[in-house]
Amino acid sequence: GESVGLHLPTLSVQEGDNSIINCAYSNSASDYFIWYKQESGKGPQFIIDIRSNMDKRQGQRVTVLLNKTVKHLSLQIAATQPGDSAVYFCAERIAGGSNYKLTFGKGTLLTVNP
C-alpha cells in the first residue's frame, strides 16, 4: 500500500490567509521529499523539496517543514492567492542506489476563496 498519506483531503481558505497542508509518511528510510502542485488539466508542478538532513526549507511564499520523529511533512503557503487553488501532493523517495522512484500521496485539494 501507499506509504505516503494526507491528513486532510480538502482545505478551503480565504485569500490572504496562510495555508498549511499536511502529509504523513511511514517509511523511515525515505531521505528526500517533494511537494508538487497540480492545477486542473495540467501536470504536477514542482514547488519545493527537502532532504531528510533538514528540518525546514523556505522558498518564495512557501515553507516546507519536516518532522522525522513523527514522520510528518507540511507545506505552508503564505498570503494564499486564488492562483494557489490546486491539488497539492507530497512525494517521498526511499534512499538507496540510483533508483529515483517517488511515491506520491493521494493529494489535498486547496480552494482559495476571494
Partner 1 sequence: DSGVTQTPKHLITATGQRVTLRCSPRSGDLSVYWYQQSLDQGLQFLIQYYNGEERAKGNILERFSAQQFPDLHSELNLSSLELGDSALYFCASSPVTAADTQYFGPGTRLTVL
Q: In this structure, what are the phi and psi dihedrals at residue 74, rounded to the nearest 5 degrees?
A: -135, 155
Q: Which of 52, 74, 103, 111 binds partner 1 (CB under 8 A)?
A: 103
- Contact between 88 and partner 1 by CB under 8 A: the answer reads no
Please work out, in degrees rounded to the nearest 5, the angle formed at the alpha carbon of residue 37 by the alpha carbons of 42 and 98: 95
With 0-12 CB in 10 A as exposed, 13-18 as middle and 19+ as buried, what is 72? middle
Give the C-alpha separation, 32 to 106, whole Å.
Answer: 18
C-alpha cell at 42: 495540467
> What would the grid cell of residue 78 be?
503564505
> Binding of partner 1 at residue 7 (CB under 8 A)?
no
25 is a site residue for partner 1 (CB under 8 A): no
- Closer residue to partner 1 (CB): 64 or 93: 93
Nearer to partner 1, 9 or 16 (CB): 9
Task: Choose the stretch contacting partner 1; rule: CB under 8 A; options: 10-18, 20-28, 42-50, 73-81.
Answer: 42-50
Site residues (vs partner 1, CB under 8 A): 2, 32, 34, 36, 42-46, 49, 89, 93, 98-107
